[in-house]
Structure 1
Amino acid sequence: MKSYLIFASLFALILNSSVAQSKKEKLDELMKAYHNYNMFDGSVLVAENGKVIYKAAFGLANREWDIPNTTDTKFMIGSVSKPFTAVLMLIQVQKGLINLDKTISDYLPEFSNKPAAKVTIRQLLSHTSGIPNYDIIKDFFPRISRQNFAREDYVNIYIDSSLVFEPGTKYAYSSWGYFTLGYIMERVTGKSYSHLMKEDIFDKIGMNSSGSYFHTQIINKRATGYDYSFGGYTSLDFRDQSNTMGTGDLYSTVDDIFKFHTALSTNTLLNKQLTAEMFTPGIRPAQYGYGWFNKQFKYTPTDSVTSNFHLGMTEGFISFVVRIPSTNGLIVILCNSSPTDFFGITGNLAKVLYNKPIHLKQPVHKVIEKLIAEQGALKAIEKYKHMKTDSAHYYTDWISMNFLAEQLQTLKRHEDARIIAENNAAEFPNRDLVMVTMGNIYSALNRKADAIIFYKKALAIYPGYEEAKNKLKELEGNK
């Protein structure tokens, strides 16, 4: 413990002691610190004024064989695939093959007389379609995500689903919406999504290390994904990528994503009008345009910059891409160990770009993770209460704390999960995800009345939370 404190203190001094120290050196020290905290394994790239100023790799691409990550290691990018899908769709619009204001049923006749028949391409791109996300199916991951589907069979899973709101009136993230975009492009062009992506984007701008992944493929230099576990790592869970087409099936490298960023900045792929539409903020609070969150990226409590960003999370991998148009800047992290504090890491990288001081602190959840493994959840929470008062040396990432509760729940350590989740619910009362996790754990413990309370709390924070709605409906129907 003392060594961590000494490391953190020395690191803060180093970052703030030398004005002459280059941004590259500061960025490198920062990422080394995150790696030493078991907070980052993967590749990172930072660009400013259209030039790469820092690029590095950390940790292992494969733990079984001790193969290190490199800057040309290929990572699954999860939902960072959505900006690529959006651009690919806009290219088809630019070609005159698809119209943004035409409906799903105009291109997929099987949607006629279905709830989403009149949803437009524009609404699919901006997550304002009202089509629900796959989390409305409570056993989606164990029962459905591991299966292989023909396109039409997968569409049949959600084609009859009721819309969660009138299209165009609200925002709600929908991976099914983006799968539908991919399927429309396949039907219109007669080409597979992967072939069209390669032809219209990857080959055009030299993204030679990117592609659509399927589990039977052998991809040279592709990383294996891992989850941080209590006292070590576990290998990623399996998901068949046939149900992530258009939403999360791409792999890439930091260099290839920089090429994509450059192509968007120079209108190499899209004309200025469509690019401007793509980067126009949508309905608040998400301000999602076409494939991007277009909003202020806050890197200190008082400083922010206009940005386009997207997060990707898939089994064993986390990716985060932040474009900064005003300086033609880019921050990319591709990580093959989950979870990690992606906002914290990228926020600190941005601080270096804007010459802000960094006081890196030890992440509380990493200490808690170890204590749970060695002494149990009760002792871990005792330590948590001490650490949260020591803000000079520790910081708390609510997402990672919530993940600990979810992970314990997955391991069927329900009582440990309850202890961590109850602490999280008290500490982070305004986080809808924390409330849903608490509800899920109470539900698993057959404490239905308590579960109902927390699903209602989640909906009070975010009325559009479909998982909370469905769980609540299920429990109240079984009273």
Structure 2
Amino acid sequence: MGAGPAHAAPSRRGRVPKELRPGGEYDRYVAARAKADEFSGTVLLAHRGEPVLQRAYGMADKAGKVRNRTDTLFNLGSIGKCFTATAVLQLVQRRKVALHEKLGAYLDGFPAEVAKNVTVHQLLTHTSGVGRPPKMTGPPDPEERAWDTVEEVWEGTQKIIRGLPTQFTPGTRYQYSNDGFVVLGAIVAEVSGQNYYDYVREHVFAPAGMRRTDFYTRPEILAADDIAHSYATDRETGARFDFTTSEMAPFVGLPAGGSYSTTGELLKFVTALRQDGRLLDHATVELATSGKTVVPPEEGQDSLLSCSHYGYGFATHIFGGRRLYGHTGGGPGVGDTYNVYPDLDWVSVTLGNYDSSGTKPILQLERRLITGD
């Protein structure tokens, strides 16, 4: 178990609350969960753009005895949807894509009922009905496991999605859809003339100063000592295993998720979003991070979380009377979340290489301490 550097920064309303300082309640709680082997990863709290607390715990590679560090890269899971949405909205600002426009205006090969009815707005808000039905988080299907190039992953996934009808009448309900964001990535590629990965590297990661954030392939991950392996939990035995080295691990991530980054570089992404025109105009960021469709409450949801909505690639919530937005990322051995508290000028990032059950209690405490409830 290791700890990264930590230091205090001034608060907009005076000093940083003692509960959020190094050695405070939050710091002690995360350390206790890591000591009990319930959490492995990194955490960052920042106020007014400056880190208040940074810590790293657990192992990036247990077999290789490599510890997590504050600059370790982690699989972001669905946090990557924020990058895809940002790319789409950049094209909206340039009037190359319209939110009301139908899918068929940009891409060929979809059934008529999909091409003529599904809009970009619906894809961004998980109300399109496009793609495969949602399933419990798990490994890819056997066909997907055989793909071992970026091109095979991209083309194979597109082929599967384009052959499917909608699951429900577009616009009539919310249903989380990874495939919908894969389609959005295809729109980015088609309209920009670049492949999706290159577009996001050039127009999202680079302007934000995210120099190490990328879509690393499985061979690149296994060869690196600064990328955390994902340790999934076996549903039958409860034992953790290295998902990254298993045949079930995907070859590369997609527009729905699977890029890799650090807590510090995600803070850079948030900072760039909040600087007018660096990634998006201020008005477009407000549009993206405002609620568009209601997200049904989860079982066991915190009583202070009064409502949740999905915007354009960003989730937004009212917690303890305060608005916050961000996203979570989950999967086998992936437990991530980041939150922006715009009224309080706080940002939190938690990246874990255990399943998300280890991250949720940390998120709950963080929200209560930052909002003062």
Give the TM-score band, short-chain normalised. 0.7 to 0.9
Compute the displacement of 1:75 (Å): 0.4
Q: Equivalent residue of 2:23, what SS?
A: helix
Question: What corresponds to 1:52 in structure 2?
Answer: 51
Q: 1:354 to 1:185 in 2, by over 3 A?
A: closer
Question: What corresponds to 2:21 in structure 1?
Answer: 23
Provide the C-alpha distance between the structure 2 equivalents of 1:67 and 1:192, rounded to a whole number of angstroms: 34
Provide the C-alpha distance between the structure 2 equivalents of 1:310 and 1:339, rounded to a whole number of angstroms: 13
Provide the C-alpha distance between the structure 2 equivalents of 1:332 and 1:138, rounded to a whole number of angstroms: 22
Does the 8 A contact of 1:61 with 1:69 survive in 2? yes
Question: What corresponds to 1:104 in structure 2?
Answer: 103
Q: Are 2:175 and 1:172 equivalent residues in the alignment?
A: yes
Compute the displacement of 1:35 (Å): 0.6
CA offset digits 1:148-175 (Å, max 9, x no partner): 2353432221223232322222211111
Q: Are 2:250 and 1:240 equivalent residues in the alignment?
A: yes
Aligned partner (choices 318, 325, 332) of residue 335 of structure 2? 318
Question: What corresponds to 1:416 in structure 2?
Answer: none
Compute the displacement of 1:292 (Å): 1.2
Question: What corresponds to 1:263 in structure 2?
Answer: 272
Aligned partner (choices 223, 228, 238) of residue 223 of structure 1? 228
Q: CA RMSD in A?
A: 2.5
Compute the displacement of 1:304 (Å): 4.8
Q: 1:194 to 1:306 in 2, by over 3 A?
A: same
Compute the displacement of 1:281 (Å): 0.6
Q: Are 2:200 and 1:197 equivalent residues in the alignment?
A: yes
Provide the C-alpha distance between the structure 2 equivalents of 1:95 and 1:119, rounded to a whole number of angstroms: 21
Provide the C-alpha distance between the structure 2 equivalents of 1:50 and 1:43, rounded to a whole number of angstroms: 18
Q: Are 2:292 and 1:282 equivalent residues in the alignment?
A: yes
Q: Are 2:320 and 1:293 equivalent residues in the alignment?
A: no
Compute the displacement of 1:131 (Å): 1.4
Does the 8 A contact of 2:137 with 2:331 survive in 1? no
Provide the C-alpha distance between the structure 1 equivalents of 2:138 and 2:225, rounded to a whole number of angstroms: 33
Specify the code of the residue in structure 2 equivalent to 1:333. Answer: T
Structure 1 stretch displaced more, 254-263 or 121-130:
121-130
Provide the C-alpha distance between the structure 1 equivalents of 2:56 and 2:153, rounded to a whole number of angstroms: 37
Q: Equivalent residue of 1:33, what SS?
A: helix
Q: 1:61 to 1:292 in 2, by over 3 A?
A: same
Give matches, 1:306-455, under 5 Å.
306-355=323-372
Does the 8 A contact of 1:265 with 1:328 survive in 2? no
Aligned partner (choices 151, 156, 164) of residue 161 of structure 1? 164
CA offset digits 1:254-290 (Å, max 9, x no partner): 0000001111122221112211210121222351100
Q: Equivalent residue of 1:163, what SS?
A: coil
Aligned partner (choices 185, 189, 205) of residue 188 of structure 2? 185
Compute the displacement of 1:228 (Å): 4.2
Question: What corresponds to 2:9 in structure 1?
Answer: none
- Alignment: residue pair count: 332
Alignment TM-score, normalising by the size of structure 1: 0.64
Q: Equivalent residue of 1:208, what SS?
A: coil
Give matches, 1:85-96, under 5 Å.
85-96=84-95
Provide the C-alpha distance between the structure 1 equivalents of 2:209 and 2:367, rounded to a whole number of angstroms: 27
Does the 8 A contact of 1:114 with 1:159 survive in 2? no
Does the 8 A contact of 2:189 with 2:195 survive in 1? yes
* Identity over aligned pairs, percent: 27
Structure 1 stretch displaced more, 306-315 or 224-233:
224-233
Provide the C-alpha distance between the structure 1 equivalents of 2:143 and 2:119, rounded to a whole number of angstroms: 27
Q: 1:22 to 1:293 in 2, by over 3 A?
A: closer
CA offset digits 1:287-317 (Å, max 9, x no partner): 11001111223xxxxx352111311112322
Q: Equivalent residue of 1:337, what SS?
A: coil
Specify the code of the residue in structure 2 equivalent to 1:127. Answer: H
Provide the C-alpha distance between the structure 2 equivalents of 1:151 and 1:333, rounded to a whole number of angstroms: 29
Provide the C-alpha distance between the structure 2 equivalents of 1:174 and 1:216, rounded to a whole number of angstroms: 27
Q: Equivalent residue of 2:56, what SS?
A: strand
Q: 1:325 to 1:21 in 2, by over 3 A?
A: closer
Does the 8 A contact of 1:103 with 1:120 survive in 2? yes
Specify the code of the residue in structure 2 equivalent to 1:211. Answer: D
Provide the C-alpha distance between the structure 1 equivalents of 2:251 and 2:317, rounded to a whole number of angstroms: 30
Q: Equivalent residue of 2:283, what SS?
A: helix
Higher-Rg member (1/2): 1
Q: Per residue, is there more helix in 1 or in 2? A: 1
Provide the C-alpha distance between the structure 2 equivalents of 1:209 and 1:151, rounded to a whole number of angstroms: 22
Name which structure has the greater RCO, CA cutoff 8 Å, separation 6+. 2
